[in-house]
Amino acid sequence: MTTTLLLIRHGQTDWNAAGRWQGQIDIPLNDTGRGQVQALARRLAGWPVRVIYSSDLLRAAETAAILGRSFGLKPVYKPALRERNSGIFQGMLFEEVQAHYPEQYQQLLENGDAPPGGESAQEVSWRVAPVYEQVASRHRGQAVIMVGHGGALRILLAHIFGRRPAEARQFILRYNGGLTIVELNETGPHLALLDDVSHLEVEVTSNE
């Protein structure tokens, strides 16, 4: 019996396009982002999805709602799936963070440390991992969509595959509207697809 998790990064926002760090600031999708999600919904048409879980931050919630209309499902919103709280980095351009907080930024990348006023990778793992464990147990043998954010989804993937939260950046999620598929069966988790955007014409946006 195989459980299929379709992990989806939310569509683009204006802050993604500008290269601005969002964290837990609640930014809506832009028109490009809505188009990305609609393209993904067309791609997934016909999948036997039974449930959609999502972060409750607006950019993820909108993504889940668009997908939900396609499948005739009402998303279940989970605050525990929110993006990492990035503290004082939130609202800043990536270039500004690197210029003004080079040591803290490097520690975040290398060790998963918390930015000033924010969460560490370990703290994010402590909240996203129980959601995954609950979903995997409750929906065995089903196809499940989980909508989230680049940073939090990387940390979730690290948990699923037995890596330390600080190693999450090994799972590169560049694209808004990207699709990652994890298959769970008796032999363990298998990464079937990572950050695939064959349904899109894309530009890379590395911020969460």
103-120 pLDDT, tens digit each: 999 999 899 999 999 999
State mean pLDDT over 201-208. 54
Sign, Cα dihedral of 57, 62, 64, 68: positive
The pLDDT of residue 203 is 52
The pLDDT of residue 107 is 94
59-95 pLDDT, tens digit each: 999 999 999 999 999 999 999 999 999 999 999 999 9
Strand order in the sheet with 143-148: 76-77, 49-54, 143-148, 3-9, 179-185, 188-196
- Residue carrying structure tokens 């998790």: 5
State mean pLDDT over 2-22. 97
Predicted model pTM: 0.94
Q: Is 165 exposed, middle or buried (0-12, 13-18, 19+ CB in 10 A)?
A: buried
The pLDDT of residue 202 is 56
Annotated catalytic residues are: 10, 83
Class of domain 3-196: alpha beta
Farthest-apart Cα atoms in the chain, separation = 50
Give the CA distances from residue 168 to residues 19, 24, 151, 174, in Å, rounded to whole numbers and listed in that order.
21, 19, 8, 13
What's the half-sphere exposure (Cβ side, CA atoms, 13 Å) at 170? 15
State mean pLDDT over 12-21. 97
Q: Can you tell me the distance from the alpha carbon of 199 to that of 177, in angstroms, rounded to the nearest whole number?
A: 9
Tell me how crowded residue 204 is: count the other CB atoms within 10 A of its CB: 8
Any idea what DSSP says for residue 52?
E
The pLDDT of residue 58 is 98
State mean pLDDT over 146-175. 96
What radius of gyration, in Å, describes the C-alpha atoms of the chain?
Answer: 16
Tokens of 114: 């918390």
27-70 pLDDT, tens digit each: 999 999 999 999 999 999 999 999 999 999 999 999 999 999 99
Q: Which are the contacts of 45, defined by CB distance < 8 A and separation ≥ 6?
A: 70
Q: Quick one: pLDDT band at residue 201, thresholds 50, 70, 90?
A: confident
